[in-house]
Structure 1
Amino acid sequence: MVYVRKDAGTLTAAEKRRFVKALLEVKRRGEYDEFVRMHLAYFSSDGERGLRTAHMTPSFLPWHRRFLLDLETALRRVDPSVTLPYWDWTRDRTATSTPWTADFLGGDGRRSDRQVMTGPFAHRQGDWTIEVGVTDGEFLTRDLGRRREPLDLPTASDLERALRDPVYDAAPWDSTVTRGFRNKLEGWGTGQGGAAWRNHNRVHRWVGGAMLGAASVNDPVFWLHHAFVDLQWYRWQRRHGGARYLPATPPGPRDGQHRRVVARHEKLPPWDVTPDELEDVGRIYRYA
């Protein structure tokens, strides 16, 4: 049966409680930290040798689509009524709006050390200790909007710039490409400061704290953010009917991206699935 992913701003109090309870249970079981480890393992950049699957690559979208599905499956094993909500950061744009409420994801970090002190994921509640990360810190941190160097969230027009591009991706299939929907949505730009961070990337910068690095999964907002990113792929596919994931075939041996990116019908590590198989999720879920 097809289930529905809802806008976090429309969730009822009961839906918020069930989502939070299921997420905390996945954490208690030790499953959640495996998601953090996986994201760390597959967070590779242009400058690294070998295959890139999760970031700075065409498979950014199908990789995270499958990643979200795995977490959603874990949540639904706890409570079959739970689905991943999405955070529409073009609309809920302040540090006090959805999802930053005490009954949901909690709020900003305190000034002294960015530690989140409110909500169910605050370390002092005893249910959300950071076990896997790039530092030794045990508590969740945020710096919503970046106090020292203020940054705004992406706007609807920023998103529209990506959505109107009819081509999924283009050579050289990395963070430097200026054409194609994928990188315009992922958000690797040129320039200095905030101008270099667009859409998906800019949101990570705006949240700050744990969301800045490869261990960004430690902040539960990661899933709501990426559900909204996934929704954009869903919308792009419907706007540009027939447009497909690219590259369709692997770059050749003389290409600098040979064996560095996943083509449409190639397996997408760490799963036994191809981007082609992840292009249509209509039999699994839909967005409200």
Structure 2
Amino acid sequence: MVGNKFLIIGTFLYCCSFTSFSQSIRKGFDEMTDQEISGLVSAFYDLRNGPDIFNDMATYHANFFNFDNTADPTRQDLHFNLPEEAEREIFLAWHRMMIFEMEQAVQEINPKLSLGFWDNSIYQSSGDELWAQNFLGSFDTNWTLNRNFGQGGPLPTPNQISDLMNMNDFFDFSNELERRPVHRGAHVWTGGAMPTPLSPRDPAFFFHHVFVDKVWHDWEEIHQSSSFIATSLLRYDGTYIFDGEVLPAVDPNDIKDSRVLGVFYGENGLAQLDNYIVSNTYNPEEIFYYQYTIEAGNNFIVPPGAVASIESVNEVNLVPGFEAAAGSSFRASIDTQILPIFAPSFQFSQRQTKPYPYSDKLFEAIVWEEGGDLLNDEPIIISASPNPFRDTITIKLSEKKDCVVEVFNQMGMPVKQENFQNTDTLVIKDLYGLTSGLYVIRVSDANGNLLVVKRVVKL
């Protein structure tokens, strides 16, 4: 057929039909077909109707968001561990498992669907298709997400992503990615639940974190040096039960390569499947679906007894390095009819209104950075002393400003606020009544723009 291509180099056996559950070729939301969009939106509504994986993940994420580690430096949490706290760093691996868990839940409903990603270094308008009512727009009203686009801070630039790719040290890379606009930007720009510990309530969280995961995937392809000191993950430690099933125990070092999970990324019309052995670990048949060109080779292997298929609307190339061994079951196909992504019996779910319950965690302050101007990365705090402190702490700025200083405890609750005018020395007194532990100092200018945050310890 004109415009379609099927090039095969290798040997394999065509297989009969199986109950199909797919692995993933994730693509940008702009490359998803209308049928994929409709199917994914429908699956999200089904998953909220029960058991509610969105609320379960959001609650877990909030409960383990960020801890004071002064009492136990090895205690795990999910966010904002510094490079010198490498034994606690699980941010990238944990979120990789979280989006994989969500994707598996989606595929139980529709096996040919994968999560998409939102490249917010390119798509930066509330008028983008991602926010249309037939896509993620309907969730804002139906789930009371209260998005507030563009009010909370800038989205990343392509140059900022390039700068990340040039970083050599993994812990520096992870810390910079998490705290700066490549990760932070979409959370604060979207607003509503997204810049809070309950951010997984919003389906946009998963499109954003698939993009963050892709950035890590691309960095690892270049540097091959991701490394975790931790050997287990919160939630994925073999003890957590959701919907009657115990979630698997995962060592973060075992998932440094997304291909271990059968996850690949398609971009600009090409998905390259390589360095992967079909194992059927998660699914009895691994189906890789992408409407554009799929190229499988460079040690993509279907061993004896394994079951896999590759499906495209346009082109499939099986190139040197592809192998389907004798005794394997492999199928490659091109189908210009996109609609068969759904089984004949598939029913779209109704978009039901289902507000989330109220939670104080929607109003917790999040510390995105350790020092540095949030907007232009120029240092503004010269010193915060003494740190640790007992009764008084002095913040020294690089220039005189009118500003407001707020102090928050480790639960995000405000415990002190003072206003200062035309000064570069901020003296915060009468702190003796505070309990020992970690506190956050937040400095804003007279217009309410956040200038800097600083973590300090009360003795």
TM range (shorter): 0.7 to 0.9
Greater helix share, structure number: 1
- Residue pairs, 1:116-265, within 5 angstroms: 119-123=138-142, 128=143, 139-146=144-151, 151-169=153-171, 180-187=172-179, 197-241=180-224, 243-247=225-229, 263=230
Paired residues of 2:117 and 2:210 also in contact (CA < 8 A): yes
| CA deviation after TM superposition for structure 1 residue 276, in Å | 0.7
- The residue type equivalent to 2:34 in the other structure is A
TM-score where L is the length of structure 1: 0.73
Q: What does residue 235 of structure 2 align with?
A: 270
Work out which structure has the larger RCO, using CA pairs closer than 8 Å and 6 or more positions apart in sequence.
1
Q: What does residue 78 of structure 1 align with?
A: 109
Q: What does residue 80 of structure 2 align with?
A: 56
Q: 1:205 to 1:47 in 2, by over 3 A?
A: farther
SS of equivalent residue, structure 2 residue 129 = coil
Q: 1:168 to 1:211 in 2, by over 3 A?
A: same
Q: What does residue 37 of structure 1 align with?
A: 59
Structure 1, residues 219-260: CA drift from partner, whole Å, max 9, x if none? 11000000000001100001113x12144xxxxxxxxxxxxx
Paired residues of 1:53 and 1:268 also in contact (CA < 8 A): no
Q: 1:77 to 1:49 in 2, by over 3 A?
A: farther
Q: 1:184 to 1:46 in 2, by over 3 A?
A: farther
TM-score where L is the length of structure 2: 0.46
How many Å separate the matches in 2 of 1:53 and 1:47? 9
State the identity as a percent: 27
- Residue pairs, 1:95-106, within 5 angstroms: 95-106=126-137
Structure 1, residues 180-229: CA drift from partner, whole Å, max 9, x if none? 11011102xxxxxxxxx532112211111111110011111000000000
- Length, aligned pairs only: 222
Picking from 265, 281, 285, the partner of 1:287 is: 265
Paired residues of 2:40 and 2:113 also in contact (CA < 8 A): yes
| CA deviation after TM superposition for structure 1 residue 269, in Å | 1.8
How many Å separate the matches in 1 of 2:200 and 2:226? 28
Structure 1, residues 143-170: CA drift from partner, whole Å, max 9, x if none? 1100xxx63311111112222111101x
| CA deviation after TM superposition for structure 1 residue 49, in Å | 5.0
Which residues of structure 1 form unaligned runs of 5+? 107-118, 129-138, 170-179, 188-196, 248-262
Structure 1, residues 110-165: CA drift from partner, whole Å, max 9, x if none? xxxxxxxxx25522xxxx3xxxxxxxxxx11111100xxx6331111111222211
Structure 1, residues 57-88: CA drift from partner, whole Å, max 9, x if none? 32100000011111111111111111110000
SS of equivalent residue, structure 2 residue 163 = helix
| CA deviation after TM superposition for structure 1 residue 46, in Å | 5.0
Q: What does residue 40 of structure 2 align with?
A: 19
Q: What does residue 252 of structure 1 align with?
A: none
How many Å separate the matches in 1 of 2:177 and 2:232? 23
How many Å separate the matches in 2 of 1:102 and 1:89? 19
- The residue type equivalent to 2:226 in the other structure is R
- The residue type equivalent to 2:168 in the other structure is P
| CA deviation after TM superposition for structure 1 residue 17, in Å | 0.3
Q: What does residue 360 of structure 2 align with?
A: none
Paired residues of 1:53 and 1:63 also in contact (CA < 8 A): no
Q: 1:152 to 1:121 in 2, by over 3 A?
A: closer
RMSD, aligned α-carbons: 1.8
How many Å separate the matches in 1 of 2:23 and 2:106? 16
| CA deviation after TM superposition for structure 1 residue 48, in Å | 6.9
